[in-house]
Amino acid sequence: MFYICSMSGVHVIWFKRDLRVHDHAALAAAVASGAPILPLYIFEPGYWALPEHSRRQFDFVRDSLEELDAALKARGTKLVIRMGSAIDVFSALHQKHGIAAIHAHEETGLQWTFDRDRAVRRWARNAGISLREQPQNGVQRALQSRDGWANQWEAFMRRPRLVAPEALKPSAADSEEWPLPQDFGLGADDCPQRQKGGRMAAVDCLRSFLESRGRTYQKSMSSPLTAADACSRLSPHLAFGTVSIREAWQAAQKAQHEHGRSGDTGFAASIGSFISRLQWHCHFIQKLEDQTSIESRNLHPGYDGLRPEPLAGDPRLAAWIEGRTGFPFLDACMRSLRETGWLNFRMRAMVMGFASHHLWLDWKQPAEHLAALFTDFEPGIHYPQAQMQSATTGMNTPRIYNPVKQSQDQDPDGAFIRRWVPELSGLPAEWLHAPWEAPASVRARAGIVLGQTYPMRIVDHMAAAEEARSRIFAVRKRAGHGAQADALQARHGSKRSGIPFRGQQAARRQAVPRAPEPAQLSFDLHLTPPSQAHAS
């Protein structure tokens, strides 16, 4: 093979869902080699063509890459952008620049990325190139047993963060022109309130959450009215790696300690609750890492064939996606998701469950649609959660959310509904949650004609929930169901992993702040002004 560079070759850092220079194991390993480095991001057409991927995620990635490029330029090199399949791109770069090693983080993604990574590994082996993949969070590759998982996770989080390198030795490689969303068939996206990508926004989110926004996290997270501000909003940043989960965990430990020490125990408890969720983040991703079929097949085979797959153009699926089910709160959630790219956990669970239980649709297509609407799409959280909310894991107690009760509980005055379903805004609050129950005269005064100005409800939710419950429990009663569920629990469950407390209990326990270790005390994400964070 002919190389322009010396045979010693360049070290490629293959950026995927780790778009930062801080606490970046692959970058640190490349720098340690002393060789010229080639920071690479590949826009892969096959990846962006998957139904889960969308323009809002693409735009978030573009924001993040622009800041990453600036951070690399500040250190003497630049981001090399390529468009094409990974193997084609690596082959061409190898021919021109001679690749000695490729450094990357392990990625727990869709089957597509698992297959792609396997193919790249094979290609590198054949080309005599060393491919070094490292864990980027507490998810473990080739895990043999879940026993003690939580302790290993915490040990990973406690390790010192890797400092961003000060200077990088550039290679001769130039970037191609950055592609546009249209190059991948990603048209306009109606998401004016999408979260901005990039390191600066990530640091801002984390800092404002830990310093002030998170004070009422525990009690505000369930309502979409309060959750948008009181939750961390770190999800797209964790999904695309503009901040590492270890950075978030260490900063949260420090904040929890400080709030506890200053007597703000409520705030400390909220941060404790957030810390538990950072562990759930990896706990869920570990499931997909261990069993890639969770993306496409029921975790518990007892549920195979239980629900029909929606046919193309199924009007119920379309009504659900477009927020036209006739359930005002549910429609408000779907419409707000379309415009913001985010929804709080409780409402994600409710909308997913509505498709699976009330509409009795197989979870795969609704889950794909939701994934594309989430700026923070994280395969390892999304698919295990989609199955959990659809009661196809066999190992979780089924929970069917009532969209009217959730509406009354989480949006009692109807402010969220009025904002996102303005055609109902004339209805008094007492009728907003279930407009079909309002006297005809009240609806007439509010200018509402069901079926014309706003849809009739698509289903009788009480009867549909009852029917779903009895079908699911019939499966749970079948011979062999329990044994299979136990095996799944052993493989994927939180008990074996050593995650004993959930929700409020975990938060209360974590509210007793432990003194952070010295490495954490020196961690000062808070003091990094946004302008510096941008450049660094």
Ligand X SMILES: Cc1cc2nc3c(=O)[nH]c(=O)nc-3n(C[C@H](O)[C@H](O)[C@H](O)COP(=O)(O)OP(=O)(O)OC[C@H]3O[C@@H](n4cnc5c(N)ncnc54)[C@H](O)[C@@H]3O)c2cc1C
Helix (H, G, I), strand (E, B) or coil at 105: strand
Structure tokens of 105? Answer: 């983080």
Q: Is 238 in the site for ligand X (CB under 6 A)?
A: yes
CA distances from 481 to 471, 475, 486 (A): 14, 7, 9
Q: Is 274 in the site for ligand X (CB under 6 A)?
A: yes
Across the beta sheet with 99-105, the strand order is 80-83, 37-43, 10-15, 99-105, 130-134
CA distances from 283 to 103, 137, 178, 425, 492 (A): 25, 11, 35, 41, 8
Q: Is 234 in the site for ligand X (CB under 6 A)?
A: yes
Q: Which of residues 47-66 bind ligand X (CB under 6 A)?
A: none
Q: Is 112 in the site for ligand X (CB under 6 A)?
A: no
Judged by beta carbon, residue 68 or residue 381, the one nearer ligand X is 381
Structure tokens of 520? Answer: 């954490």
Please enumerate, by residue number, every residue annotated as part of a binding site for FAD.
217, 274
> What is the nearest approach in angstroms of ligand X to the Cβ of residue 83?
25
Q: Which of residues 310-369 bind ligand X (CB under 6 A)?
A: 344-345, 348-349, 352
179 φψ region: left (φ > 0), alpha (ψ -120 to 50), beta (else): beta
7, 101 Cβ separation under 8 angstroms: no
Judged by beta carbon, residue 278 or residue 468, the one nearer ligand X is 278
Judged by beta carbon, residue 37 or residue 201, the one nearer ligand X is 201
Q: Looking at 161, 382, 433, 461, which residue binds ligand X (CB under 6 A)?
A: 382
319, 453 Cβ separation under 8 angstroms: no
Q: How many residues bind ligand X (CB under 6 A)?
A: 28
Alpha-carbon gap, residue 448 to 467, rounded angstroms = 30
Q: Which of residues 125-154 bind ligand X (CB under 6 A)?
A: none
Q: Looking at 381, 404, 421, 465, which residue binds ligand X (CB under 6 A)?
A: 381
Q: Looking at 42, 99, 255, 386, which residue binds ligand X (CB under 6 A)?
A: 386
Judged by beta carbon, residue 90 or residue 217, the one nearer ligand X is 217
Judged by beta carbon, residue 352 or residue 506, the one nearer ligand X is 352
44, 116 Cβ separation under 8 angstroms: yes
Neighbours of 247 (CB within 10 A): 23
459, 355 Cβ separation under 8 angstroms: no
> What is the nearest approach in angstroms of ligand X to the Cβ of residue 279?
8
> What is the nearest approach in angstroms of ligand X to the Cβ of residue 430?
29
Q: Looking at 376, 472, 497, 520, which residue binds ligand X (CB under 6 A)?
A: 376
9 φψ region: left (φ > 0), alpha (ψ -120 to 50), beta (else): left
Judged by beta carbon, residue 23 or residue 69, the one nearer ligand X is 23
Q: Is 107 in the site for ligand X (CB under 6 A)?
A: no
Q: Looking at 41, 374, 401, 416, which residue binds ligand X (CB under 6 A)?
A: 374
Structure tokens of 431? Answer: 């009728």
Cα maximum dimension of the chain: 83
Q: Which of residues 192-231 bind ligand X (CB under 6 A)?
A: 221, 231
> What is the nearest approach in angstroms of ligand X to the Cβ of residue 288?
11
Strand 130-134 relative to strand 80-83: parallel, antiparallel, unpaired?
unpaired
Q: Is 239 in the site for ligand X (CB under 6 A)?
A: yes
CA angle 430, 435, 439 (to 5 degrees): 80
Q: Is 270 in the site for ligand X (CB under 6 A)?
A: no
- Site for ligand X, rule CB under 6 A: 221, 231-235, 238-239, 274, 277-278, 280-281, 284, 344-345, 348-349, 352, 374, 376-378, 381-382, 385-386, 389
